[in-house]
A and B are shown apart, each in its own frame.
Chain A
Amino acid sequence: AQSVAQPEDQVNVAEGNPLTVKCTYSVSGNPYLFWYVQYPNRGLQFLLKYITGDNLVKGSYGFEAEFNKSQTSFHLKKPSALVSDSALYFCAVRDGYNQGGKLIFGQGTELSVKP
């Protein structure tokens, strides 16, 4: 069965410092991995995805994520955090071998960036 874990409910970072939001996954086949961001009372915005190829994926707003197959992780990173990055971040996974497979979401990580 597919599953996603975001081990931290909240991450606190000072503005200008690097940030990491962690995600680990479990699928039986090759994973398709996604990161989304949600601002209060809004829908989810797509940030980036990993399907295949280069393990480092670059996305919107300066975010990037590194796929690590041996550690089954897909951590979201940004070199220099902004106050405006404060939001709820969701990792999601789908089993690439199952074409009809559903997207499974983690429970979310609240990122707080302080000035």
Chain B
Amino acid sequence: DGGITQSPKYLFRKEGQNVTLSCEQNLNHDAMYWYRQDPGQGLRLIYYSQIVNDFQKGDIAEGYSVSREKKESFPLTVTSAQKNPTAFYLCASSKEPGLPSTDTQYFGPGTRLTVL
């Protein structure tokens, strides 16, 4: 988990509210990623960013939004359009995406979001 911080650790949201999950890294990594983890389903990619001010949709982007204004920060907003947002959210980063020696992804400790 070292070098990547996520906050808060636990987050509770009422239906209809938008919430923003924080992800910060001090590893000087170029790429950052957001995954969603549900029991028995492994990790699914929501959004990723290979460079500042650019990001791409992953496999399950609907109902989520991101920004990448700074290299070290990649916040994720879970909007009210996300039908089933209760899950464990994991942020990751890698040094240089696409280069085999440096594209290992390292993960933060996660945020558990619960919709009440």
**Chain A residues engaging chain B, CB cutoff 8 angstroms:** 9, 32, 34, 36, 41-46, 49, 51-52, 90, 94, 96, 99-103, 105-108
Contact = CB atoms under 8 A, between A and B. Distances in A.
Given A94-B103, A107-B40, 17 more contacts: A9-B40, A32-B103, A41-B110, A42-B109, A43-B1, A43-B109, A44-B43, A44-B90, A44-B92, A46-B105, A49-B104, A99-B97, A99-B98, A100-B50, A105-B42, A106-B42, A107-B42
A41 to B, nearest CB: 7
A88 B42 CA distance: 10
8 closest Cβ contacts across the A-B interface?
A99-B98, A43-B107, A107-B42, A44-B107, A51-B100, A105-B42, A105-B43, A43-B109
A43 B9 CA distance: 11
Interface residue SS majority, chain B: loop
B58 interface: yes
A45 B105 CA distance: 9
Contact of B100 (A90, A96, A103, A107): A96
Given A99-B98, A102-B58, A45 B41 contact: no
A94 B42 CA distance: 15
Contacts of B105: 34, 46, 103
Interface string B1-23: 10010100000000000000000
Contact of B101 (A36, A44, A51, A102): A51
15 contacts: A9-B40, A32-B100, A32-B103, A41-B112, A42-B110, A43-B4, A44-B43, A46-B106, A49-B104, A51-B101, A90-B42, A99-B97, A102-B58, A103-B45, A107-B41
B48 interface: yes
